Chains A and B, each alone.
Chain A
């Protein structure tokens, strides 16, 4: 048997979560004394592929087929299933990303494997096999007993730190049969947020709520984010009002994020908002209302007007950084 790790291709590079996923896959593989095998679809440079060995991949299989440039769910799941069959994969790991969430349940259905999404750590036990995840949008933890021999999981973001303990490996090129007739996805247009730090990948997130009072005031958040090397986010009312783009909405129905620092300005902390940010390592909040629920989950807080505090903070950082 083996553990198969799906490593998605973002314009020829691995997104940030892939090293975490491979680190996790290796730890799991060591528990069973089996190999952690990475499947990397699409065209990618050798050094990028080889580097996954450092995170613990025993083998890296590259499928550099041009027809995989656009992700068609069924064609991709066919490719994964073919490799999973050849490698006798018993556990298949995906990231809790858009692509991972799309493909993992498809593959599970074909394998008649149990599927659990957003597991948060290594299994609590392997016989019986028990995994842990959060339910009720982060309000409750649960242990789930997985009954099937084959298993498919997505790993919650920031479940563990990626670590480089091993040597690079020589990638293997695989040519699996890609059935073009299974591909029904025709791409007409592509828009990428080039150069912009993605909210789901940022270590530091600077976020604003209605307490920011006006769309123009978000310039202050952008400035602070730029100084700290973070991304900007907002609450649902702010994105619904059109003050900020919808992709910046962090919360239960928007993006679920888990940065090292979530810095909330003028956010009261509605339960649906907290559901999207409560997994952050550290939460700091600035709000005028001392009773605001955000202070119940925050590690650090200032009772005050975000519009007063922000310029002072920006000044202070500039002074410290000698900008």
Chain B
């Protein structure tokens, strides 16, 4: 069984975003990373592959992005992925990304596709669901656990108010979130060496037009300074929360 990870590459989440003179997010000199949820998805896929109790034998990365993302893709391969495919495009919205992924998946057999719930840059929370919808295949979202059972999957789904364990057949697209793996795996030295020899397949994209466009960007207005209260008088803070901002009720 093969697991395909839809992987996106995003600016390091600890970076403060600035706008350029043209009012666009300034991406110069920003370190790029694997989208945090995709990194967890990849980690879980590799755990499954290494566990002799199931039939996962291949983990493939699928990425839509320019060649400048190659280094991050390489790092993901160093974590232990077997293969990477990069569709050479710079998508303008999540529909374009999904379109390219669908075009690729329509041409080949697949079992399980994992997508992170969103990317930490444009927070679209869209690609996984769009791909499942466009392919009209079964899908499941808010997934926090995956285990194989023969040719089926046991999936833990977080609901708004609890969780469910589901049994689902393949092929399947699962949109995963925090909890799917404990912590992202670090690439090993050996992994880094091996990744250098692995091939990234580059695919030319088809023509597609976006359904949305970013009209403009704006930084949030600066916050007024924090009102400091003396540590000896925590009651004053309660007072302010009750009477000034009116967010608590004590009487």
Give residues in A with beta carbon < 8 Å to B.
8, 10-11, 15, 70, 72-74, 77, 96-99, 101-110, 112-118, 130, 133-148, 154, 184-193, 198, 200, 203-204, 228, 240, 246-247, 249, 252-254, 260-261, 270-272, 275, 281-282, 284-285, 295-304, 308-309, 312-313, 316-317, 320-321
Contacts and interface: CB of A to CB of B under 8 A. Distances in A.
Contacts of A134: 123
Contact of A101 (B98, B125, B133, B163): B125
Nearest to A148: B211
Nearest to B250: A320
Contact of A298 (B37, B123, B126, B226): B226
What DSSP secondary structure best describes chain A's contact surface?
A: mixed
Given A252-B120, A312-B234, A320 B161 contact: no
Given A98-B142, A303-B228, A117 B213 contact: no
Given A101-B142, A109-B130, A313-B238, A117 B163 contact: no
B127 to A, nearest CB: 8
Nearest to A131: B212
Interface string B125-138: 11111111110101
Contact of A143 (B163, B166, B168, B216): B216
B129 A282 contact: no
Contacts of A295: 226, 228
Interface stretch (B9-17, B52-60, B61-69, B83-91): B9-17
Interface in B194-251: 210-220, 223-224, 226-231, 234-235, 237-238, 240-241, 245, 247-248, 250-251
Contacts of A198: 160-161
Nearest to B213: A145
Nearest to B133: A109
Nearest to A189: B165
Contact of A136 (B17, B40, B250): B17
Given A228-B248, A249-B178, A284 B165 contact: no
A101 B141 contact: yes
Contacts of B17: 136, 139-140
Interface string B114-157: 00011011111111111111101011111010000000001001
A188 B229 contact: no
Given A101-B142, A190-B162, A300-B240, 13 more contacts: A72-B138, A98-B157, A99-B160, A105-B127, A141-B217, A145-B213, A186-B166, A193-B161, A193-B162, A270-B14, A281-B245, A285-B226, A300-B229
Contacts of A140: 17, 19, 25, 217-220
13 contacts: A15-B160, A72-B138, A98-B159, A101-B117, A106-B139, A112-B211, A192-B159, A271-B14, A272-B14, A296-B223, A300-B240, A316-B235, A316-B238
B129 A137 contact: no
Contacts of B36: 252-253
Interface string B4-24: 000000010110110100000
